[in-house]
Structure formats: structure tokens, C-alpha cells
Amino acid sequence: STDPLIETPIFCTILSQDRFLLLMRMLHLDDNSLENGGDKLYKIRTVIETLRRKFSSSYAPDQNLAIDESLMLWKGRLGFKQYIPSKRKRFGIEIFVLCDSDTGIVLDFLICTGKGTNYNPEYDESQTSAKVIQTLMQPYLE
């Protein structure tokens, strides 16, 4: 940023904006030749699963946990973009986040991709809202 309040001048001295954009365009997180199996997040699935493992293993939560629904604004084209009229940002990516109520530390999250959402298969007969809760809370219910 060039805003004097939040700028970080070290980045411009190390890497130009054109070089950064070129690197971002060439960044791939998955092998395109592999079959995705209908997973809409297959290109970033390994990153998502790594984050989920790190979040859950880095903190032992207290007794009170909370699940919150977030809508991350997305203005582009996306196959699993959600429309929630009651939210201020009505279109976006719906994410459910499990947090510790006292500290707000994220323990787990679930990105909703419609029918392809990665719920725990043992809860297939449940309703969608129950699947979200059961999938996120499973490690803490045992």
C-alpha cells in the first residue's frame, strides 16, 4: 500500500508489483493432471486441509465453543457462490467457523460448496445445518 499509515516499504524494495503479479499468476497449489472427483476446491484442498489440521492441533479449547457463519464477499463468477439476502454482503463464499468462545481462536472451518461440501460421510442422513455442526464438532464430542 502507498498509504503512509499502513505502508510496508520493505516489500517494494524487494519485489516489484509486476514481478509479484507474475508470481501470483504462476502459483499453482495442485497438479492439474489429477482427477478432482467433483471437488470444487480441489486446487486448494491440500492448503485447506493443512490449515484445518494446524488450527485444531495448535490449541486445546475450553468448554465453550461457538460455530459462526461468515459470508466472504466475492464479486466474480463462482460455481458455489451463495446468496444470503439477510447479510450486508449478499453474495459470496459461505464459511462456517468453529471457535473457542473465550479467546476467539479458530479451531476448524468448513467452506460450503453446495452439494459438494466436504461433510463427514457418517452424517449423510442429517439435515444440512446438523451436518455442519456434527462435522465441525466431531473431534470434541468423543
pLDDT tens readout for residues 70-108: 888 888 888 888 888 887 878 889 999 999 999 999 999
- In the predicted model, is pLDDT for residue 62 greater than 70? yes
pLDDT band, very low/low/confident/very high, at 54 (cuts 50, 70, 90): very high
Indicate the pTM of the whole model: 0.76
Residue 66 within any structural domain of the chain: yes
Residue 58: inside a domain:
yes
Residue 27 maps to a domain: no
Q: What is the mean pLDDT of the chain?
A: 86
Question: What is the distance of C-alpha 50 from the center of its chain?
Answer: 11
Give the mean model confidence (pLDDT) for residues 45-57. Answer: 91
Q: How many domains does the chain have?
A: 1
Q: Alpha carbon 132 to chain centroid distance? A: 14
Which stretches within the chain are classed as H helix? 9-14, 17-26, 45-57, 128-141
- Number of C-beta neighbours around residue 117 at 10 A: 19
Q: Where does the pLDDT of residue 1 fall: very low under 50, low under 70, confident under 90, or very high at 90 and above?
A: low
Q: Is position 130 within any domain? A: yes
Q: For residue 48, give the amino acid letter.
A: I
Residue 10 lies in a domain: no
Question: Which domain covers residue 90, as residue numbers?
Answer: 32-141
The amino acid at residue 124 is D
DSSP label at residue 124:
T
Give the residue carrying C-alpha cell 489440521.
Answer: 53
Q: What φ, ψ does residue 77 adopt, rounded to 5°?
A: -80, 135
Max Cα distance, the chain (Å)? 55
pLDDT at position 118 over 90: no
Task: Decide if 17 is inside a domain.
Answer: no
